[in-house]
Structure 1
Amino acid sequence: MKRTLALGGVVTGLLAAAIVSQPATASSDVASDTLANTGIAAYNVAAFWLGNKAENLVGATPYNVETKVTAKHVSTGGPAADSKPGVVPAIGDEKKSTSTSKNVNLPKTQGKVFFTVPDGSDSDTKPDARWCTATSVQSTYRNLVATAGHCVYDTVTNKATLDQWVFVPGYYDGKVPWGLYVGKQAFTHYDFDVYEDGDRDYAFVTVYNGIKYVPRPGETGTPFVPSATLTDWREVTKAVYDNPAIWSGFKWTNGGKYYLRKFTDAGRLGDNVGGQGLAYNQAVGKPVFVFGYPSGSHPDGNYAFSGKTLKWSYGKTFAASAASRKAEELIGVKSSFTGQGSLGSAWLAGYKNTRRLGYLNGVTSAVSDTDGNNRIDTSVSPYFDGELYGVYSAAKNVWSGSIA
């Protein structure tokens, strides 16, 4: 049963209306879980991904959980706004700006979220590294990431959240051009957290300041030679030093003291790549750009996307539902994005090509072959309504800080 939230304050925006009402936040509808609640816990996560020449980033594969919806389970539906339309402007785009262009400039805000799932069929016993698509969004501390709910919450084992969660904007082949951002706290709707309600398959995650690891001469060789410059290290207790989650290359003991290799603080996410705005309770039928990292094959075996580079598609949204996903109020868009890797892709309405900014109005939660020709032709997203805005509001003012 859809709950209607009371109306609260106002915000100015440029999508469909200049002045819109904001629904009040209903705290009982928001679920929040910790990802890495201390600096050392976040350091461990960063070391897992950056250690040994970023082997875990390079070896990660797209997350393929609950990706495809069969055509018979996708039907016309009817998402309904639960209050007036509303928007939150993007970082740097708080004032009106317009542009026209035939070329599509890809947004810097897009990237991959990496995490681990329990070991599968591999010969080793390490957790398996996976990734989805995500995007930076506007927030008070410029530290917020949006993606699909099941790219944060573990719907397979029913454990609260996925492990070792990080966001890397602009990721390519082990490179972290704007830094690696460790997740601190995750927010989603209570109905997804508890019931896996497909209408609420979205999440917002606060992240620490980005970090970079700059090896000193000799540190990339074999065998590993740690920097002998003391200022490259920070002293820790033996208990911290002995933590098995920290890659051995980031540890050093000297003169009876224990050290961890320092990271370089890359700054806040939104300061580095910007942050998309947010639009909710918008009319269905408006055009959106979908930006993501699709990977994998179509049902007929055609391997259309590699997942290595950011891709885009464009179309008008339409009402949809998928009973098999407990989802009655979805929106769909025609897109050939295959599901692996594209989960969490950003649906941007009112996208300004020169500024590479728009309003996040959906995140890909599944894909489907609706015409039965063995080619993926549709992506679906939860409808962004006032309840989504309530989850966003709970996350947007949460500070995170630095782990460097």
Structure 2
Amino acid sequence: MKRVVLAATRTAAAAGVLCAATLVTSGAPAHAYDIAATRPLATEAQVPSVLAYWLGGDGRALAAATPYALRLKVSARQTERGAAPDGKPGGVRPADSGSAQEKAGQGKTAAGKTPGAKPDGGKPAQDTTDPDRTAQDGNRTAASKNVNLPRTTGRVFFVGSDDKPHWCSGTSVQGPHRNLVATAGHCVFDTETDGTPMRKWIFIPGYQPGAAPFGVYAGKQAFTHHDFATYRDLDRDYAFVAVHNGLAPQPSRAPGRVIKLADGGRLGDGVGGQGLAYNQEIGRRTVILGHSAPPVRGATFRLQDPSIHANALLGLKSSRTTDGSSWLIGYRKTGRLGYLNGVAIATSGGAAVSPYFDSELFSVYVAARKVRSDAVPGGVFRDGANEINIL
């Protein structure tokens, strides 16, 4: 049964292109219950065991992982009602991995504000650029070799309730601690059982078979909406995961048995982070970026599936996307940065499907971005036949 919540009155607020020059402070509405649900994934002490599972045997588990998808069939239809803003439009600026301010340890944007330090709102603005472009700070984020994707895009790997390895797409998102990954909620919380987190959860940006070019990041703490964690509400099928500092695999003379790893630093420092946008108007020009799938571009529209009480979904014409793929508005090809405004959770009737991002989504993000991550302590650990040497 879907929970009925007392939220702020939903208004039809519209927003134009989000850009760095037009961001102002805006808060999320108050609610009568806790929006965010959180679960621990792995402690620092558990990280070596998690990585041993995935990297042992020359990455046998990574190679065996299969794409993950909801078993629940989504039969959504286009509608004129449903998804709508519940407050003012807002957003958080993206950040590239080569910011001079970040290198200097100042943690500031070109506008002199700490990125992600407090809620940002976006004023309506006239789009005078190409539909896939917008103003932003920096443009040095490089592409991975996978379908020319930004290196913020990668795969999240996990073990499901069937005890088998699976993967979804995931995206690095900007935050004050530069350690957040966004993906579909069902790629983090197991909807087949009691909603407990998936096991051995990791993120590999820019993943390629046999290679982790920007390191491996084990999940630390997962956040989703209370209604998804408790009631499997697909209108809230999204998650943010705070990850530990990355570990970069090093060459070893004993492949498959001795796993050498070096500290790779924070996720955002290495690959940058996409921005975040919420309470945006329907019909925005959007690009879907998922791992192992070509980019998809188009305009969003409202979808509903009353049979499963999903009444606030977005659609974009596409016959193939991977679950967890990022929906970006204001995406600039030269910098490969934009604003996350959806995540793929299914396909239905020739359309990719995403929850609508509103103020409640932003509340979940705010809870997740408070988590700080540190380096995993070095040492030699043994897990079965594997020896994990963290340098």
TM-score by length of 1: 0.75
1:351 is matched with which residue? 331
Contact 2:288 2:296 in 1 (8 A): yes
Q: CA deviation at 1:365?
A: 1.1
Counterparts of 1:63 and 1:31, CA distance in 2: 22
**Which among 66, 81, 85 is matched to residue 81 of structure 1?**
85
Choose which of 367, 371, 377 in structure 2 pairs with 1:394.
367
Residue of 269, 272, 277 corresponding to 1:271: 269
In 2, the alpha carbon distance for the partners of 1:98 and 1:356 equals 18
CA distance in 2, matches of 1:197, 1:40: 33
Whether contact under 8 Å (1:67, 1:343) holds in the other structure is: no
> What is the distance in 2 between the residues matched to 1:136 and 1:208?
13
Q: Residue 384 of structure 1 is aligned with which of 357, 364, 368?
A: 357
Q: Which moved more, 1:153-162 or 1:320-329?
A: 320-329
Q: 1:40 aligns to what? A: 45
Q: Does the aligned pair in 2 maintain the 1:114–1:132 contact within 8 Å?
A: yes
- Does residue 162 of structure 1 match 2:162? no
**Are the structure 2 counterparts of residues 398 and 24 from structure 1 closer, same or farther at C-alpha, using a change threshold of 3 Å?**
farther
Q: Are the structure 2 counterparts of residues 40 and 313 from structure 1 closer, same or farther at C-alpha, using a change threshold of 3 Å?
A: same
- The corresponding residue for 1:190 is 226
Shift of 1:2: 5.0
Show CA shifts across 1:286-326 (max 9, x none).
Answer: 11000113xxxxxxxxxxxxxxx342100001111112332
Amino acid at match of 1:379: A
Aligned partner letter, 1:46:
L
* Offset at residue 18 of structure 1 (A): 4.2
SS at match of 1:399: coil
1:228-243 → structure 2 map (5 Å cutoff): none
Residue 213 to residue 53, structure 1, CA distance change in 2 (3 Å): same
Call closer, same or farther: CA 1:64–1:50 in 2, change over 3 Å.
same
Q: CA RMSD in A?
A: 2.8
> Is contact 1:99-1:353 (8 Å) kept?
no
Select which of 278, 282, 287 maps to 1:289.
287
Q: Tell me if structure 1 keeps the 8 A contact 2:7–2:30.
A: no
TM-score (norm 2): 0.77
1:113 aligns with 2:117: no
- Provide the secondary structure at the position in 2 that maps to 1:213: strand
Following the alignment from structure 1 to structure 2, what is the Cα–Cα distance between the partners of residues 320 and 279? 19
Residues 295-374 of structure 1 mapped to structure 2, 5 A cutoff: 309-338=292-321, 342-369=322-349
Equivalent-residue separation in structure 2 for 1:16 and 1:211 (angstroms): 35
Unmatched runs of 5 consecutive residues or more in structure 1: 7-11, 120-126, 225-248, 251-260, 294-308, 370-376
For these two proteins, the number of residue pairs brought into alignment is: 327
Deviation of 1:16 after TM superposition, in Å, equals 11
Q: Is the 8 A contact 2:29 2:87 kept in 1?
A: no
Shift of 1:187: 0.3
Alignment partner, residue 31 of structure 1: 37
Q: Which runs of 5 or more structure 2 residues have no equivalent in the other structure? A: 10-16, 100-108, 112-126, 134-146, 377-389
Q: Which one of the candidate residues 171, 174, 178 is aligned to 1:138?
A: 174
Q: Secondary structure at the match of 1:193?
A: helix
User: 1:91 offset after TM fit, Å?
Assistant: 1.1
Q: Which residue matches 1:91?
A: 95
| Residues 287 and 13 (structure 1), Cα distance of their counterparts in 2 relative to 1, 3 Å cut | closer
Aligned equivalents of 2:237 and 2:62: distance in 1?
A: 25
